[in-house]
């Protein structure tokens, strides 16, 4: 790939497209946005392949790009929501319907869609690092060491992030189910 072989790039996309898409979907939770993020990840990978030094697995490098781009997408959405809120307060914006997440994640069984939707909504409330760690471990199935490599942190830090993520999710879900039962 670093020598400009398009076939090698095609093989990379075929090998990792589902992983990149699923990772993006776990964070942005909307199919179209996840597709856009995945496409952007592979464009960036193609344009920046010369910078890949091989000091990590190619999958780790792609996870890093996917997470960065997915979080960028989330930040842009939050900024847009804030701007629209200000516009609405001053009566200069159009009312924007709240965007409801698409829960068609490949790892979610049909009979678990409603519970999964609730979990994914709760995940949106986690701080970024906790959400990334939780997504990589629980949604993508990475182990703690792989997650620490992707996040460029220690295994101990990932363990701490997961502990806090689980605690925060437990509180959020307990509140949700006590209000909706």
pTM of full prediction above 0.75: no
DSSP helix/strand/coil, 126: coil
Q: Are the C-beta atoms of 9 and 1 separated by less than 8 Å?
A: yes
Instruction: Give the chain's domains with CATH numbers.
Output: 1-102 (1.10.1740.10), 103-181 (1.10.10.10)
Check whether 181 has a pLDDT greater than 70: no
CA–CA separation, 52 and 124 (whole Å): 31
Of the two residues 67 and 115, the one the predictor is more confident about is 67
Radius of gyration of the chain (CA): 18
* pLDDT for residue 75: 86
Of the two residues 101 and 26, the one the predictor is more confident about is 26
- Residue 39: count of CB within 10 angstroms of its CB: 16
């Amino acid at each position: 790939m670093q020598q400009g072989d398009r076939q090698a790039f095609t093989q990379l996309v075929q090998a990792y497209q589902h992983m990149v898409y699923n990772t993006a979907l776990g964070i942005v939770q909307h199919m179209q946005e996840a597709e856009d993020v995945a496409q952007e990840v592979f464009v960036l990978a193609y344009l920046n392949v010369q910078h890949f030094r091989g000091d990590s697995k190619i999958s780790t490098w792609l996870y890093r790009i996917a997470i960065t781009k997915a979080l960028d997408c989330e930040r842009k959405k939050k900024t847009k929501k804030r701007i629209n809120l200000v516009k609405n307060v001053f009566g200069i914006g159009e009312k924007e319907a709240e965007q409801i997440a698409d829960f068609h994640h490949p790892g979610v069984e049909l009979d678990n869609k409603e519970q999964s939707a609730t979990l994914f909504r709760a995940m949106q409330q986690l701080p970024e690092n906790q959400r990334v760690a939780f997504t990589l471990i629980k949604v993508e199935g990475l182990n703690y060491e792989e997650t620490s490599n992707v996040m460029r942190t220690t295994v101990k830090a990932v363990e701490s992030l997961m502990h806090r993520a689980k605690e925060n999710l437990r509180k959020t879900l307990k509140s949700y189910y006590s209000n909706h039962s």
